[in-house]
Amino acid sequence: MTVEELKRLRDEGRMPLVLDVREPVELSLASFPFPVVAIPLGALSARFRELPTDRTVVCACRSGGRSAWAVEFLRARGIALAENLEGGILAWSSRIDPHVPRY
What pLDDT score does 29 carry? 97
Quickly state the pLDDT bin for 96 (edges 50, 70, 90): very high
* CA atoms lying within 13 Å on the CB side of residue 72: 5
What ranges make up the beta strands (E) of the chain? 17-20, 37-38, 57-60, 82-84
pTM: 0.96
Residue 101 falls within a domain, yes or no? no
Mean local confidence (pLDDT), 24-49: 97
Residue 103 falls within a domain, yes or no? no
Residue 19 falls within a domain, yes or no? yes
Residue 13 falls within a domain, yes or no? yes
Residue 100 falls within a domain, yes or no? no
What pLDDT score does 37 carry? 98
Looking at every residue in the chain, the average pLDDT score rounds to 97
Residue 67 falls within a domain, yes or no? yes
Query: CA 72, 6, 54: angle at the middle one, nearest 5?
Result: 50
What pLDDT score does 3 carry? 98
Residue 49 falls within a domain, yes or no? yes
Quickly state the pLDDT bin for 2 (edges 50, 70, 90): very high
For the domain that residue 72 is a member of, what is the CATH number? Answer: 3.40.250.10
Residue 79: domain span: 3-95
- pLDDT, tens digit, 9 for 90 and up, residues 52-94: 999 999 999 999 999 999 999 999 999 999 999 999 999 999 9
Query: Count of domains in the chain?
Result: 1
Give catalytic residues, as residue numbers.
Answer: 61
